[in-house]
Structure 1
């Protein structure tokens, strides 16, 4: 009886310590978020005075021709019975061939894979899925509908609904984060995992605590904890701040042409679309105890050396979570590697597929 009581007491003490630590971390996070938000809000309203009344006017767009180009693929939908939502996807290639699943990042869309859909479709059935809330996928209401695990389960059911026993997962940014958890938890569904500029959740959390440089790069993560202000800020002055993410200080102006930017503006001008993108960040638990198994599937990590949002060190830290891994850097490339350097990016994919068949 005394042993049982001692164990209960120990668990109780540990639980209280964890709760206190979570409160402290939450307070620090909110303090950082508030400081960043005050600076951004001051700048925002100063610029409103300079630009005029149209600064905060929400603009809407019609779908540009580039999104309707049949050469990119066929638009389709799958209803996920267990998850209760419909996901949009674009497919190209023969359905009888092996499946490559492409998963976009946050503040992006299926369109970010426009250089890969055709590239691999001769040998594969290539599917670029739109995450819940994005593009023409369903947008369930409520912040809690956009947790990491809900997206993981969406994609698990989506792969099963496509009717393939195995597939190759290629993810970028937030899509790769979802992939790290999905492929680790359900390895039997996948042949290989390829991530581009998307770090393992443990690697990111660990590095964020130790690196002031990464904390500065992650300003938007803290800013997105605030209610309402992020959506207002991203949409202001014709989605100016949103476009700055793509341009990465104008280094990607040749990649993100006016036509490409119009496609992104179309999707994010839809009702609730910006809130969906922000809600993932609002669900981040900086004290998460999520258990992620070691990655057993052959893994390729592709990283742009000039990434403005994620340190180069995160690639090596993520590799430590894998049993069979290769890390490839693309010198001079930024965060959006599959769009900025599509020829070299596709070459790396082909080479890796050939040695892991």
Structure 2
């Protein structure tokens, strides 16, 4: 068996039929969490780095609840990303993972950090890739841009999916027909669009609830977490969604975290520059 091949797997995570991609099998475990764009999944969001990191680690990349990948579209998400982080907790428990590192892109990074705040004894290291969501939880503001409009304006069409991917990935050669079609199938399967809408409603509910929104204000909690758990931030120099200025501001607020800029990469650093991203992540996890 080729341990670096991406394997399709299923697990029942607290009653939620959860699909995940897996690579490797030797060494410590890395949980890889995809971003929040329509149709994303463990394989489509993290696929280019999975076989590369699988040479050194066991990498598991779940499809989140909220209409992503192949995971059950009926799973409830009343608290938005907090619900997504709870699903991650159920997922790692279902796989009997006691200690592991976390790699997360965008909303996936937020979910991984939230989990680490609740379970700092179980997370060995954190890798944050281009997360505007985390920046927002630190009180950082960024003006709307065209990439945001493309992501939020996905209309269910294949052309809309292509526009979405072009907002996230700079290297257009990596936006293949296979990738477009894979994400389009995931985004348009029965129940996925409604699940995606419910996730957005859950995020908005938390944002406006006077008690719950306090759980998303990390000005003190995240710097404290990065003092306890070694943290790496990867950011693309050409990110048009979470712009480099936001990455620099985030790094200033997290002086104990290490930041690495990946030249020419966009919001999905792991897709635009998989070899470079994998090399940096590998060195950090082994260090």
TM bracket, shorter-chain basis: 0.7 to 0.9
Closer, same or farther: CA 117–218 of 1 in aligned 2, 3 Å: closer
For 1:183 and 1:323, the matched residues in 2 are separated by 18
Matched, 1:161 2:90: no
Per the alignment, residue 319 of structure 1 pairs with: 251
Q: Cα distance, 1:205 vs. partner?
A: 6.2
3-state secondary structure, aligned to 2:84? helix
Per the alignment, residue 100 of structure 1 pairs with: 30
Cα displacement string for residues 168-227 of structure 1 (whole angstroms, at most 9, x for unaligned residues): 10011111121121112211111100011114535456222xx4xx23357549x95xxx
Per the alignment, residue 112 of structure 2 pairs with: 179
Cα displacement string for residues 78-109 of structure 1 (whole angstroms, at most 9, x for unaligned residues): 2123xx31211122222x63111111111221
Q: 1:148 aligns with which of 81, 86, 92?
A: 81
For 2:47 and 2:139, the matched residues in 1 are separated by 33
3-state secondary structure, aligned to 2:101? strand
Per the alignment, residue 138 of structure 1 pairs with: 72
Cα displacement string for residues 89-143 of structure 1 (whole angstroms, at most 9, x for unaligned residues): 122222x63111111111221122222221122321111111013212111266x
Q: 1:215 aligns with which of 139, 144, 147?
A: 144
Q: Normalising by the residue count of structure 2, what TM-score does the alignment of the two structures yield?
A: 0.82
Matched, 1:234 2:166: no
Closer, same or farther: CA 71–194 of 1 in aligned 2, 3 Å: closer
Q: Normalising by the residue count of structure 1, what TM-score does the alignment of the two structures yield?
A: 0.67
Q: Which runs of 5+ in 2 are unaligned?
A: none
Deviates more, 1:265-274 or 1:98-107: 265-274
Q: 1:334 aligns with which of 257, 260, 266?
A: 266
Per the alignment, residue 16 of structure 2 pairs with: 85
Per the alignment, residue 167 of structure 2 pairs with: 248
- Residues 13 and 87, structure 2, Cα contact 8 Å, conserved in 1: yes
Closer, same or farther: CA 249–97 of 1 in aligned 2, 3 Å: closer
For 2:177 and 2:140, the matched residues in 1 are separated by 35
For 1:327 and 1:352, the matched residues in 2 are separated by 11
Closer, same or farther: CA 100–323 of 1 in aligned 2, 3 Å: same
- Residues 239 and 265, structure 1, Cα contact 8 Å, conserved in 2: yes
C-alpha RMSD over aligned residues: 2.8
For 1:220 and 1:348, the matched residues in 2 are separated by 31
How many residues end up aligned between the 2 structures? 269
For 1:180 and 1:120, the matched residues in 2 are separated by 20
